[in-house]
């Protein structure tokens, strides 16, 4: 399994998804946070309601308050006058403060946090043994062990595991405590590229199969775009904006980091090693993923990550061009890009946004205007 994963990483194919009918009904939770604190230069001012559904990324630069917020939600830090509610249940309100061990949260920390005196199995069951008595058990140890492929690790001591394996166990341990909400504090930050690929697909798999909402703190836009459904953008201790990832990617603050788009496509099967994908009425062909991580999890829908730099525009469909993926799109906006010579063109197809980064010169030459129908040539796609 591990070697397959490594292989998958080399090919940049990570396409664990699940047929929709198997997925647990996603639970929508609402987290209300009122928090105001100032520590020297650092200040955090929040009065927000966060609908949590699937994977919600809490994204922002280091030091913008993401981890502080996550720790306050977990109850690890108690701030005066804060108010935190999950759905109708107040976790902190006035003098009332529900201690960490009574909040039904699962938390995965940045670095390995397995209890070193316990085996993998004992670590996994630490929370299960304490919380499963009090609440209805929805996730059994066997299920989680299968889901995260931990069987071969159970008897080992944490010291002998790789970083990716440790984080996978921490994730399983958190899941087994039957949480209402999973809090992930940069779970990939301390991992190298290979270890990341040992855990990223599993996060996706958990979101799809368990339906437990996740709040994922990250400062890596790449990870966020691979995983998240919703994105909460934090800046200077405030929530700048929140919403579905596809729409959020159009925010100029994110475009400045590296403009990209996310398209959802349906799989129509594979032909001659080419995966046939459809977005609305339009078709795309991409080399089929050769190393499916797990044959049981065959995908019916894919996420396509497309860098704005990899999208070219033409007024007519091109036939004498090596780029075979051309999509008919309409221009919805033209904005300045971080570089003064470039423009960011916002496009739409089948109600999904797509961005293209062009030079001003090319845009002038083509005479691009809002509302115009053009053809987008897509040079490179990363498939998740």
Partner 1 sequence: MPEFLTILSSQDWQAIQLTLKLCLYTTLILLLLGTPLAWWLSLSHSKLRTAIQAIVALPLVLPPTVLGFYLLLLLGPHGAIGSTLEQLGLNHLAFSFSGILIGSVIYSLPFTVQPLVESFRRMGPRPLEVAATLGASKLDQLFSVILPLCRGGFIVAATLTFAHTLGEFGVILMLGGSIPGETQVLSVLIYDHTEAMNYAQAHQLSLGLLITAFAVLFIVYGLNRRFEREAIL
The CA distance from 54 to 210, in Å, is: 10
Nearer to partner 1, 132 or 188 (CB): 132
Nearer to partner 1, 7 or 104 (CB): 104
The CA distance from 54 to 34, in Å, is: 22
Nearer to partner 1, 138 or 238 (CB): 138
Q: What SS3 state is found at 163?
A: helix
The CA distance from 54 to 157, in Å, is: 32
Q: How far is the CB of 215 from partner 1 (least distance, A)?
A: 13
The bridge status of strand 373-378 relative to strand 382-383 is: unpaired
Residues near partner 1, by CB under 8 A: 74-76, 99-102, 105-107, 109, 113, 115-117, 126-127, 130-131, 134, 159, 173-174, 177
Q: How far is the CB of 255 from partner 1 (least distance, A)?
A: 36
Backbone angles phi, psi at 121, to 5 degrees: -65, -45
Other C-beta atoms lying within 10 Å of the C-beta of residue 4: 12
Q: How far is the CB of 205 from partner 1 (least distance, A)?
A: 22
Angstrom distances, CA of residue 112 to CA of 181, 186, 253:
20, 11, 31
The CA distance from 149 to 376, in Å, is: 41
Nearer to partner 1, 121 or 222 (CB): 121
Nearer to partner 1, 71 or 226 (CB): 71
Q: How far is the CB of 71 from partner 1 (least distance, A)?
A: 9
Nearer to partner 1, 131 or 216 (CB): 131
Q: How far is the CB of 104 from partner 1 (least distance, A)?
A: 9
Angle at 38 between CA 35 and CA 43, to 5 degrees: 75
Q: How far is the CB of 131 from partner 1 (least distance, A)?
A: 4
């Amino acid at each position: 399994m591990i070697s397959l994963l490594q292989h998958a990483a080399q090919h940049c194919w990570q396409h664990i998804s699940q047929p929709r009918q198997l997925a647990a009904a996603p639970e929508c939770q609402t987290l209300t946070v009122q928090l105001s604190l100032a520590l020297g230069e650092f200040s955090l001012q929040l009065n927000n309601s966060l609908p949590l559904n699937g994977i919600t990324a809490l994204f922002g630069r280091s030091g913008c308050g993401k981890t502080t917020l996550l720790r306050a939600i977990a109850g690890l830090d108690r701030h005066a006058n804060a108010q935190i509610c999950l759905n109708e249940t107040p976790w902190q309100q006035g003098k009332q403060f529900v201690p960490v061990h009574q909040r039904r949260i699962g938390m995965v920390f940045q670095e390995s946090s397995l209890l070193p005196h316990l085996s993998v199995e004992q670590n996994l069951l630490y929370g299960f043994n304490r919380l499963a008595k009090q609440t209805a058990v929805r996730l059994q140890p066997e299920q989680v062990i299968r889901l995260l492929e931990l069987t071969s690790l159970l008897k080992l001591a944490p010291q002998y595991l790789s970083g990716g394996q440790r984080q996978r166990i921490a994730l399983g341990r958190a899941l087994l405590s039957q949480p209402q909400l999973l809090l992930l504090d940069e779970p990939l930050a301390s991992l190298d590229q290979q270890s990341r690929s040992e855990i990223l697909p599993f996060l996706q798999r958990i979101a799809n199969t368990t339906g437990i909402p996740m709040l994922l703190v990250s400062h890596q836009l790449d990870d966020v775009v691979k995983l998240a459904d919703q994105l909460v953008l934090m800046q200077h201790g405030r929530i700048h904006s929140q919403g579905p990832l596809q729409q959020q990617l159009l925010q100029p603050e994110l475009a400045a980091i590296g403009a990209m788009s996310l398209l959802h496509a349906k799989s129509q099967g594979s032909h001659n090693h080419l995966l046939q994908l459809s977005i609305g009425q339009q078709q795309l062909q991409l080399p089929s993923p050769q190393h499916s991580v797990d044959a049981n999890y065959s995908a019916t829908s894919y996420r396509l990550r497309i860098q704005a730099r990899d999208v070219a525009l033409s007024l007519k469909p091109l036939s004498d061009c090596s780029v075979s993926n051309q999509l008919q799109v309409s221009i919805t906006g033209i904005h300045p890009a971080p570089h003064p010579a470039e423009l960011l063109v916002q496009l739409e197809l089948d109600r999904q946004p797509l961005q293209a980064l062009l030079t001003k010169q090319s845009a002038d030459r083509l005479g691009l205007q809002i509302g115009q129908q053009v053809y987008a040539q897509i040079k490179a796609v990363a498939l998740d």
